[in-house]
Amino acid sequence: MIRVISFVLVCICLSACNSCNTTTGEDIATDDIRRYEVDLFSIDTNNFEEGIAEIYPRYKLFLGSQMPDENGMRQLKNFVTDSLIRSTYEYTLKVFPEVNNLNNEFTAAFARMQQSIPEIQVPQVYTYVSGFDIQMPIKYADSALIIGLDLYLGNDYKPYMEQGFPMYIINRLSPEYILPDAFKEIAWARLPATPASTLLDAMIEQGKTIYFAELMLPDARPEYLMKYTAQQVKWVEANELSLWSFIIENQLLYSTDAKAVAMFMTDGPFTSGFDNESPSRTGHWLGWQIVKNYMTKNDVSLKQLFEDNDSQKILQLSGYKPARI
């Protein structure tokens, strides 16, 4: 129930983002990350309604276009007094006592983003405790980017295991993945609404998002961009030719079969048909390599890349051919 409350509140606020205050390029240097979790959990529960009223103008995104009614206030109070959520918040403060470095990294990346796509809107960044909303650790909609810090507390955080999260997910629940995850969400929102129909389509879609994050975060390591471990990156580098050959030899590249697409695109402990040391989502890696080759060999803007739905053309013009190692 606690997770549901948190999820519903954020879904409501995201649907209202277009009517919220927005930021511009001029605000990048001064519009700092807003820590909703700190302001929310710092409220004296004996004067809870008054405390909510005090933070309300700053966090309408979370609290709604009007002050929460009696039922909403009760749900919020239940959330901040829940023992698991409270202990998670306290641990979050240990991992993120401040977010100055994170704020500076976002500032630099947003500057690159606006330089690459001038018309793009710079979102206000918020943090919060999501109640382990593992499906949506980061949420983005035009004017707001919302980060669930409780999903980036480190792979040694015991409650992740207690929540039943598998190790392939736990391994990427660390602070280093925040910025790559955020910029992939921003990139995903810029893709055309037309759904991918073939494996190649899906690969190119994901490749575009990773390529965008790489441009915005030039110092990010491949494992963080891919949501892999360093060992998993070594595996895909060493087995890239084998992966590509398997797809070509089995005529999967233009397949619309859901199982074929899932084999290379869906999250999991490994890629079916390969050894257990392989990571999942290997199609994301291949798509990233294709897009990188395409952008290197062709005079194409980032905006044009996002608008181009012709995956076959992108593959052909990329000249992609994995090297034999």
Tens-digit pLDDT profile for residues 210-268: 999 999 999 999 999 999 999 999 999 999 999 999 999 999 999 999 999 999 999 99
Q: What is the mean pLDDT of residues 86-97?
A: 98
CB count, 10 Å around CB of 201?
21
Q: What is the mean pLDDT of residues 139-158?
A: 95
Question: Which among 246, 268, 234, 233 is positioned nearest to 199, based on CA atoms?
Answer: 246
Terminal Cα distance for the chain, rounded:
51
Q: How far apart are CA 285 and CA 179, in angstroms?
A: 18
Strands 34-35 and 124-128: parallel
Q: How far apart are CA 224 and CA 237, in angstroms?
A: 15
Continuous segment of H or E residues that includes residue 144: strand 144-148
pLDDT per residue over 286-322, tens digit each? 999 999 999 999 999 999 999 999 999 999 999 999 9
Q: Which residue has the tokens 């992939």?
A: 184
CB neighbour list of residue 72: distance below 8 Å, 6 or more residues apart: 64
User: Could you tell me the pLDDT band of residue 323, with boundaries at 50, 70 and 90?
Assistant: confident
User: Quick one: CA torsion of 213, 178, 2, 36, rounded to 10 degrees?
Assistant: -100
Amino acid 240: pLDDT: 97
Question: Which among 98, 79, 91, 113 is positioned nearest to 218, based on CA atoms?
Answer: 113
C-alpha separations of 230 from 102, 177, 206, 223 in Å: 22, 13, 20, 6
- Joined together, the tokens standing for residue 13 give 């606020």
pLDDT per residue over 74-86, tens digit each? 999 999 999 999 9
Strands 144-148 and 138-141: antiparallel
Q: Which residue has the tokens 């943090």?
A: 127
What angle, 0 to 180 degrees and rounded to 10, lies between the N-to-C axes of helices 100-116 and 178-190?
Answer: 30
The answer to whether residues 233 and 226 touch, using CB atoms and an 8 Å cutoff, is: yes
What residue ranges do the domains of the chain occupy?
2-175, 191-318
Q: How far apart are CA 136 and CA 58, in angstroms?
A: 23
Q: What is the mean pLDDT of residues 24-51?
A: 80
Q: Which residue has the tokens 């276009």?
A: 65
Is the per-residue pLDDT at 171 higher than 90? yes
CB neighbour list of residue 228: distance below 8 Å, 6 or more residues apart: 172, 222, 236, 279
Q: What is the mean pLDDT of the chain?
A: 91
Amino acid 325: pLDDT: 56
User: Quick one: CA torsion of 127, 133, 134, 137, rounded to 10 degrees?
Assistant: -20
Q: What is the mean pLDDT of residues 126-134?
A: 97
Give the rounded percent of residues in the chain with a pLDDT score beyond 70.
90
Q: What is the mean pLDDT of residues 154-168?
A: 97
Strands 34-35 and 138-141: unpaired
The answer to whether residues 90 and 276 touch, using CB atoms and an 8 Å cutoff, is: no
Amino acid 8: pLDDT: 43
Amino acid 81: pLDDT: 97
CB count, 10 Å around CB of 226?
25
Is the per-residue pLDDT at 92 higher than 80? yes
pTM, two decimal places: 0.90
Strands 124-128 and 144-148: parallel
Give the rounded percent of residues in the chain with a pLDDT score beyond 90.
87
User: Could you tell me the pLDDT band of residue 142, with boundaries at 50, 70 and 90?
Assistant: confident
